[in-house]
Amino acid sequence: MPELPEVETVRAGLAPYVEGAHIHKVTLNRPNLRFAFPDDFVAQLEGQTILKAARRAKYLLFPLSGGKTLLSHLGMTGSYRFIEFSYKDPSRYYEPPPGEKHDHVIFGLRHPSLGDMHLVYADARRFGFMELFLREEDSPFLADLGPEPLSNAFNAAQLGARLAGRKSPIKASLLDQRVVAGIGNIYASEALHRAHIRPDCPSGALEPSRLEDLVFGVRQVLVEAVEAGGSTLRDFRNAEGGAGYFQHRFSVYDREGEPCPTPLCTGTIERIVQSGRSSFFCPVCQKGPSQA
DNA sequence: CCACTAACCTGTAGGC
DNA sequence: TGCCTACAGGTTAGTG
């Protein structure tokens, strides 16, 4: 499901409800997601107040009043949704009905002005995970991340230095979170199309002007996707249950056989498999390494 | 360090 | 309807 724009959409949807909310009760309906929940996970959360809803790369970060931060990754199918609830009737504490077998974590929250609510984390494939850390440098998940693509730290010079000598395809490098953080399979293909670079072009073969194009393409597609509330392919929902709509603006992703949308381009979108994942591109307007 | 594969897990779409 | 296969927004562990 979630690349940077989708995670940012979730963050923005959660923020007004969870910032300042007191964590009254936490229920785990299984001992693990992708990884086991940390020891004392529930005990460390109950009684805390959520100070903020933040994001780094594809991670949601919730700094807590006690000094620790809750980190949540949505994997492929993780989602958050709210369920209305009042603690005045404790018997109504939310428990997943038989059909809802993927409601793995229930947060009972009390917001000072919005009242009581339940925040439910569901994740069919359980590729998501959560952890608690005291300082960012203590989290193995945050340790090796590359720059945020919408920050000034992501630029052609930095990217060129990082890719120098690499012969793996540029598509794989964009998916490498150590090179740049937050891009996934959809936006890698979309950014490369905007930059007119073939996904199988060797990473180290891109000269500075083409790196500039790529940085611009990455930034542009991510900004537009965030503004559109992300992309909903099958099941992505924001925290309010709504779908994103950037999928209607894909240029190449999942458009094999369709005409290239680049003005005046006569190409047809192709699909190839790179490191086990689909890439989509136009063989006419996207170019490989330049022949100098 | 780099590059590649398999693995984790469930749901769904498409072919027959 | 059912069975089977392929594939899905991500990341890590293991191999060479």
pLDDT given at position A90: 61
Which residue in A25, A55, A56, A58 is the catalytic one?
Answer: A58
The closest nt to A73, taking CA to C1', is C10
User: What residue ranges of chain A are covered by domains with CATH 1.10.8.50?
Assistant: 156-281
Q: Give the residue nearest to nucleotide B2 (CA to C1').
A: A166
The model's pLDDT over A148-194, given as tens digits with 9 standing for 90+, comes to: 999 999 999 999 999 999 999 999 999 999 999 999 999 999 999 99
* Count of other CB atoms within 10 angstroms of residue A254: 14
The mean pLDDT of chain A is 93
CATH number of A4-138: 3.20.190.10
User: HSE-up of A10 (CA within 13 Å, CB side)?
Assistant: 30
The closest nt to A233, taking CA to C1', is C9
* Whether A52 is catalytic: no
Please tell me whether any atom of strand C lies within 7 Å of the Cβ of A73.
yes
Distance in angstroms: CA A176, C1' C12: 13
Asked which of A86-95, A142-151, A230-239, A263-272 is least confident by mean pLDDT, the reply is A86-95
Strands A59-63 and A69-73: antiparallel
Distance in angstroms: CA A98, C1' C1: 25
Whether the per-residue pLDDT at A74 is higher than 90: the answer is yes
Distance in angstroms: CA A8, C1' B10: 25
The model's pLDDT over A191-243, given as tens digits with 9 standing for 90+, comes to: 999 999 999 999 999 999 999 999 999 999 999 999 999 998 888 888 888 88
* Whether A6 is catalytic: no
CATH fold group of domain A156-281: Helicase, Ruva Protein; domain 3 (1.10.8)
Q: What angle do CA A16, A223, A278 make, to 5 degrees?
A: 110
Question: DSSP string of A154-202?
Answer: --HHHHHHHHTT--SBHHHHHH-TTTSSS--HHHHHHHHHHTTB-TTSB
Distance in angstroms: CA A197, C1' C15: 31
Which residue in A52, A81, A110, A277 is the catalytic one?
Answer: A277
Predicted model pTM: 0.96
**Closest by CA position to A52, among listed A43, A60, A62:** A62
Model confidence at A87, in pLDDT bands (50, 70, 90)? low
* Whether A92 is catalytic: no
Q: Give the residue nearest to nucleotide B6 (CA to C1').
A: A276
Distance in angstroms: CA A162, C1' C12: 22
Distance in angstroms: CA A127, C1' C7: 16
Nucleotides of B under 7 A from a protein CB: 2-13
* The most confident of A43-47, A85-89, A98-102, by mean pLDDT: A43-47
Please tell me whether any atom of strand B lies within 7 Å of the Cβ of A167.
yes
Tokens of A48: 């805390």
Please tell me whether any atom of strand B lies within 7 Å of the Cβ of A126.
yes
Q: What percent of chain A has pLDDT over 90?
A: 85
User: What residue ranges of chain A are covered by domains with CATH 3.20.190.10?
Assistant: 4-138
A18 contacts A119 by C-beta, under 8 angstroms: yes
The model's pLDDT over A103-144, given as tens digits with 9 standing for 90+, comes to: 999 999 999 999 889 999 999 999 999 999 999 989 999 999
* Whether A167 is catalytic: no
Which residue in A3, A6, A8, A131 is the catalytic one?
Answer: A3
A80 contacts A133 by C-beta, under 8 angstroms: no
